[in-house]
Chain A
Amino acid sequence: MGRIKTIARRSFLVGSAAVLGGVAFGTYLVRKPIDNPLLDNLAEGDAALTPYVLINADGITLITPRADVGQGSYSVQAHLIAEELDVDLTQVRIEHGTPSAAYFNGVVAAEAMPIAATSDTFLAQQGRGAAYALSKVLGLQITGGSSTVPDAYEKLRLAGAVARETLVAAAMQQTGLDRAALKTEDGAVMTPDGTRIDYTALAQIAATLDPVEDVTLRDPASWKYIGKPQMRTDVIAKSTGTQTYGVDLRFDGMVYATTRTNPARGGGIKGFDGALAQSMRGVLHVLPITDGVAVVADNTWRAFQAADALDCDWGPALYIGDTQAQFDAVAASYTKDLQDSRFRDDGDVDEALRASQDMTQAEYRVPYLAHAPLEPMSVVVTVTDARIDIWTGTQIPGFLIDNVARLTGRDAAQIHLHVIMSGGSFGRRLEDDYVLQAVEIAAQIPDTPVKMIWSREEDFSHDFPRTLGIAKARGSLKNGQIESFDLSIACPSTSESSLVRMGQPAIGPDIVIVAGAWDQPYAIPNYRVTGYRAPQMVPISSWRSVGASGNGFFHESFLDEMCHAAGADPMEERLRLCRHEPTQKVLEAVAEMSDWGSDLGPGRGRGVAMTLSFGVPVAEVVEVTNTSEGIRIDKVFVAAEVGRIIDPINFEAQVTGGVIWALGHAMNCELTYKDGAPEQANYHDYEGMRLYQTPQIMVRGLENNKEIRGIGEPAVPPAAPALANAIFAATGQRIREMPLNKHVRFV
C-alpha cells in the first residue's frame, strides 16, 4: 500500500516522461512555515509538492522554475538548492521547470494588494497569506515583481534539504550505517571510513523511499554559497558567446518567419499586397495572420527584407493615438467618477491646505516607455496533429499555454512549452503576443519548425509600454516643516490592460496607479495619495518596477520641492519624517556614503530620493556637474535593504543595472505616438545611457529587515528623481517631466 502510494506520488511529482528513471524530490509544506497563518489551516492533501531536484544515473539536475531574463535568476535559485543539497554547481545541470501549477509563485500576488510592505499587522499578514493561497490555487507560475528570491528562499532550500536527507536515507539502507555516521559532501554521501558514495549511485534506492520531510535547514553560519560572492552559472556561456537564446535555436528543416502587424494595435488590416515580397529570393510563404501578414523564408534576413516589401493597408487606431491627446485624456481624468483609490489619507489634507498661506503646487509628467530588450521577441514553434511545441523565454508559462490552447482549440496537454533564457525582458516577456503570432504561422505550415523573430523596429512598434501619467501635487508648511502633502496620480490601469491578455479578471482598484507613492514611510501630519484611472489607450504592460517607476519620480520630486520650500535639507527632512527603521538606515547609509552635506564646489549638485517599492527601501544620491556643454552625472550612491543578500555580486549587478537603466530612461527616453503608432523605432531615437556617460555607482546592501526581498526592480524608482533633484541643486532648474533632456543637455 505504502509502496503504491509512493509511486503514485512520485509520478505526480515528476510529471514528465523526460525524467523517467530518475527521482524527484519535493517539499511538503503542510505544517512547515509557521510565519504564514494560512498554511496552518491547510487540509491534509492540500499541499504544495514542488519538484526541484532530479537525480539519475546521468547526473544531478536542479529545476529552477523562475525565468532568467538576465537577472541571474537561475544561478540564485540553483545556489539556494545547492546550499542544502550539498552539491557543487559546476557538477550539476540547471533546467527551467516545465510549466506546472506546482511551481506557483506565492509572493508576487501580494504586490497587487493594498498592504504596505512596512505593515506587520494581523490583517496585513492575513492578506499576504490570502494572496499566497490564491497563487497556489491558481498555480500562478510567474516571474516578476522582484519576487523570485522571496518566494524561493525557503522553498528551494527545503527542496534541497529533503533531497539530501532522502539520499542519506538511501545510503543508510545501502551501508547499514546510522544517520549520525553519515555526512554529505559535494554531491556524495561520506561514510566514516572515507568512502564516497555519489548521489547518482544512490538514486535508484532513493526512488523507492518516501521523501524524508522532517528536515532542519542549515544554520546560516555554516553556509557555503548563500551570502558569499558566487560565479554565476551562466557566466562562462555568456562570456564566450555560447549562451543559447531564442534567436540562436536551430532545428532540422527549420524555416524563418517575421511579421508585420498593425502598429496601431487592434486596428486590423484592410488589405495587403504581398506579391513583391513573395517574389523575393528565399521567400517561401506570405501568410495572413491576425491584424497583419507573416513572411516565411529560408533565413531571417530574407524574411526581414521581404517584410519590408509588404504593402499593407492598416485600419485606424481604436484608441486615442496621439501623444498630446493622450496626455489631455489623462489630464481630464481627475474626476470623482474616475477616482480609483485613496489608500493613504492621514490627517485632514483639505483643512491643512485651506489653512495654509503659501501652498506649493506642481504638476509632473512621465511618458510611455518601451521595454526594448536587447534580444527582440523570438520563438520557435512546431505544430503537428499530435502536439504543439514552443521554445521561448517567457515569464508566464501557464498563461501562455492557456492562451495558445484558446487560440488553437487544442487541449493544454498537447501544448509543450520549453522555456529558455531570455536576452533581456524588463517585463516584455510577461506578454505572449509574439508567441501567438508564431503559432498562427506554424499552424499554416504544419510539421515544420518555424523560428519567428521580430525586427527591432517591429519590437518597438508592438511593445506594450509602461504607462504615461500625470501627477498633481500640493503641499503646505507649518512652522517651517512640511504640514501637508497631497499627491494625485492619474494614468491608465496597467493591471486592467495586461490581466485581460492573461485571461484574468481585474477587480477593484489598481494599486499600480499609486505604487511606490501611497505606502512611503513618512509621518507627514496630513498626507494623502489618490489614484485616478485614466481611460485605456495604448495597451500597456509591466515595465521594470512598474507603477513605482513613474510614481517614485512624482513623490520624490515633490518631496524635494517641499523640503526646498521649507528651507530644509532634503536628507535631514526625510530622516525627520521617516518612521520606518530600515528605511531610516538606508537614508543614513547613503548620507554617509555620499558625504552628504559636504561642499561639492561651484556648478555641482547632489540630489537624494528614496522609494520603498516591492518591500525594499532604496535611497540614492546622485552627484552632477553643470558643465559648459551640459549636465554630467558624476556619481551615484545607493543603499538598499533586502533582509538578506543571497549573492553580493549579483545584488550589486542588479542595483547597478537598475540605476543605469533608470537614469538612461530619465535622460533620454519616451515613446510618443502618432495615429496610434509609436514614433520611435530603434535605439537611435530611444537612447540608453552610454558607457562614457555612466557614473561611478557605489552600492551598499543592508540586512536589517526580517523579511527577505528581491532587488531586480527596486533600484529603478529613486534614480530619476535623485537625478532631477541633483540638477535642481546644481542649476536651480526644477524639471517636472521626463525625459529630462527636454530641458537640459547631458554630456
Chain B
Amino acid sequence: MRALVIVLVLAAGPGLAQDTSRQIGLDAWDRIFSVTSHPRCTNCHVGEGGQPMWNALGYGENRTHGMNVRADQSRIGAESIPCRTCHISAENRNATPHAAPQIDDAWRLPPIELAWLGKSSAEVCAQLRNPETNDDNTIAELAEHLRNSAFVSWGFNPGAGREAPQTSLAMMVDDVLAWGAAGTPCAQDQ
C-alpha cells in the first residue's frame, strides 16, 4: 500500500514529487530510527566496545550484559565466552521472560561499523545509506535482510515479557523501501 502511494506521488510531477518524496522519506526514516534506537536493537548494535547490553529487559536497571561477554573482533565471543554458551541456535518460543533468548541463527554481534548504541538519528541515517557502513548493502538488500533475518524477526517478537519496538516488521520493511525510494534522505542533508 505504501509502495503504491510512492508510485502515485512520483507520477504527480518532478518538482512536487521531489519535495513530497523527501518528506515521505524523512518520515519513514524517523520511524526506522525509532526501531534502530530501540534497546532490542541497540543491545547488540554496540560497535567496537563489543559488550552487548542488557537494557529494557523488564527487570533491573540498564547495564552491560551480565555474563561479561566481550564479543571482540570475532563478534561471537570466541575470545572470551561465546554467545552460544547460553544462546542456543534453535527456534524457540522464548516463553521464559528472563531466559537467554534462542533463535534459528548463530548468535553474534553485528559488524563493528553498524554501531547504533548512543548514536543520533543523523549518525545512524548516514551510516545506513552508505554501503561502507551498512555491511555493503543496497537499500533493496537491506530490506531483504530485514525480511529474512531471524535476528530481526525475533527483535520484533522477542517472547514473553520482553520489550519490542512499537511497530511491525512488515511496516519496517515498507519504511526502508519508502526511504530508499525517496533517495535515502537524512534530516541533515542540505
Contact = CB atoms under 8 A, between A and B. Distances in A.
Interface of A: 629, 681-682, 684-685, 687, 690-693, 745
Contacts of B64: 629
Contact of A684 (B59, B61, B63): B59
Interface string B50-90: 00000000011101101110000000000000000000000
A304 to B, nearest CB: 11
A685 B67 contact: no
A690 B68 contact: yes
Nearest to B95: A308
A353 to B, nearest CB: 39
Contacts of B68: 690-693
B119 interface: no
Contact of B66 (A629, A681, A690): A690
16 contacts: A629-B64, A681-B98, A682-B98, A684-B59, A684-B60, A684-B98, A685-B59, A685-B60, A685-B98, A687-B60, A687-B66, A690-B66, A690-B67, A690-B68, A691-B68, A692-B68
B63 A745 contact: yes
Interface in B15-64: 59-61, 63-64
A692 B67 CA distance: 8
Contacts of A691: 68
A692 B77 CA distance: 15
Contacts of A687: 60, 66
**Residue in A629, A692, A693 whose Cβ sees the most chain B Cβ within 10 Å:** A692
Given A687-B60, A690-B67, A690-B68, 5 more contacts: A629-B64, A684-B98, A685-B98, A691-B68, A745-B63
Nearest to A692: B68
Contacts of B98: 681-682, 684-685
Nearest 8 pairs between A and B by C-beta?
A684-B98, A692-B68, A685-B59, A682-B98, A684-B59, A690-B66, A685-B60, A690-B68
Contacts of A745: 61, 63
Nearest to B60: A685
Contacts of B61: 745
A682 B64 CA distance: 19
Q: How would you classify the secondary structure of chain A's contact residues: helix, strand, loop or mixed?
A: loop
A302 to B, nearest CB: 16
Contacts of A629: 64
A712 to B, nearest CB: 28
Contacts of A692: 68
Contacts of B60: 684-685, 687
Interface string B135-158: 000000000000000000000000
Nearest to A746: B63
Contacts of B63: 745
A687 B68 CA distance: 14
A685 B96 CA distance: 13
A682 B98 CA distance: 9
Contacts of A690: 66-68
A709 to B, nearest CB: 36
A36 to B, nearest CB: 51
Contacts of A684: 59-60, 98
A62 B12 CA distance: 95
Contacts of B59: 684-685
Contacts of B66: 687, 690
Nearest to B100: A684
A308 to B, nearest CB: 10
A693 B60 CA distance: 17
Nearest to B68: A692
B49 to A, nearest CB: 11
Contacts of B67: 690
A663 to B, nearest CB: 16
A685 B63 CA distance: 13
A690 B65 CA distance: 11
A687 B98 CA distance: 12
B164 to A, nearest CB: 19
Contacts of A685: 59-60, 98
Nearest to A745: B63
Nearest to A308: B95
Nearest to A681: B98
A738 B61 CA distance: 16
B98 to A, nearest CB: 4
A685 B161 CA distance: 14
Nearest to A741: B61
A95 to B, nearest CB: 38
A693 B67 CA distance: 10
B190 to A, nearest CB: 37
B101 to A, nearest CB: 13
A690 B59 CA distance: 18
A687 B60 CA distance: 10
A681 B67 CA distance: 19
A690 B68 CA distance: 9
Nearest to B96: A682
A742 B7 CA distance: 55
B122 to A, nearest CB: 26
